[in-house]
Amino acid sequence: MMFSVVARTAFNASRNGVVRAGVVPSFGLAAVQTAEKHTLILVRHGESTWNLENKFTGWVDVPLSPKGHEEVIEAGKLMNEAGLLPEVAFTSLQKRAIRTLWHVLEGTDRMWIPTTKAWQLNERHYGALQGLDKQETVDKYGKDQVLIWRRSYDIPPPVVDRSSPHHPGNDPR
């Protein structure tokens, strides 16, 4: 996911289209008071190859699908047409998010702005579910259990084994 701070109205571009979402109040440190308004732009990465294959992705670093590239190129064009020009950008360490950011920055002619990559912006880690087919997982564990794993904050999915290439300790980033 890419985040940018710019000027007036909130904007969300995703696979589902572009939505304007009203004015966002300014944020800042308690010691700093300002009347300025900022815009937080959230852009979800385009369709990944594993989204296309209906697999749990999480932290597995899979690329965008061809459709995903098209989606985020279009998002950049729409942002540019709307005059939503980021001044700073943040993204995860996942290539699908980084490529999304690159496409959006190219579409807005803002390749020069400061960008920050942080693992804390990675998608949710799906543990041992990563790489599994979503429907097969529902068939095996039940819809309710899979929904709990996907949506809860206090009930994590099954833990991934340390020997798995999907374990975060085996990722050089």
Confidence band, pLDDT 50/70/90 cuts, at residue 4: very low
DSSP string, 103-151: HHHHHTT-TTS-EEE-GGGSPPP-GGGTTSBHHHHHHHH-HHHHHHHHH
pLDDT given for residue 168 in this prediction: 87
Q: Are residues 131 and 87 in the same domain?
A: no
Catalytic, 45? Answer yes
Q: Is the pLDDT of residue 11 over 50?
A: no
Q: Which domain holds residue 113?
A: 2-48+61-123
Q: What single DSSP character describes residue 40?
A: E
Mean pLDDT of 76-87: 95
Distance CA 140, CA 134 (A): 10
> How far is the C-alpha of 79 from the C-alpha of 70, rounded, in Å?
14
53 falls within a domain: no
Which of 38, 45, 103, 166 is labelled catalytic? 45
- In this predicted structure, the answer to whether residue 172 has a pLDDT above a threshold of 90 is no
pLDDT of residue 37: 81
My answer on whether 22 and 99 are in the same domain is yes
Q: Which H or E element spans position 89?
A: strand 89-91
Domain end (from 123, 148, 163)? 123
User: 3-state DSSP call for residue 49?
Assistant: helix
pLDDT of residue 17: 46
Query: Percentage of the chain surpassing pLDDT 70?
Result: 80
pLDDT of residue 36: 73
CA distances from residue 34 to 22, 37, 38, 159 in whole angstroms, order as listed: 19, 8, 11, 45
Total domains present in the chain: 2
DSSP designation for 90: E
Please report where in the chains the tokens 């000027």 appear, as a residue.
Answer: 7
Q: Within this chain, do residues 78 and 96 fall inside the same structural domain, yes or no? A: yes
Please say whether the beta carbons of 96 and 70 come within 8 A: no
Q: What is the pLDDT of residues 91-114, one digit of tens each?
A: 999 999 999 999 999 999 999 999
84, 22: one domain = yes
Query: Helix 134-141 and helix 143-151: axis angle, to 10°?
Result: 120
* Per-residue pLDDT at 16 exceeds 90: no
pLDDT over 50 (residue 154) = yes
d(CA 75, CA 43): 8
Options 70, 74, 106, 123, the catalytic residue: 123
Higher-pLDDT residue of 23, 88: 88
Say which CATH number the domain at 113 has. 3.40.50.1240
**pLDDT surpassing 60 at residue 20:** no
- State the pairing for strand pair 9-14/2-5: unpaired
pLDDT at 137 over 70: yes
Distance CA 134, CA 51 (A): 10
pLDDT of residue 21: 43
**Residue 7, amino acid:** A
pLDDT in tens, 23-73: 333 333 334 445 678 889 999 999 999 999 999 999 999 999 999 999 999
* Together in a domain, 80 and 143: no
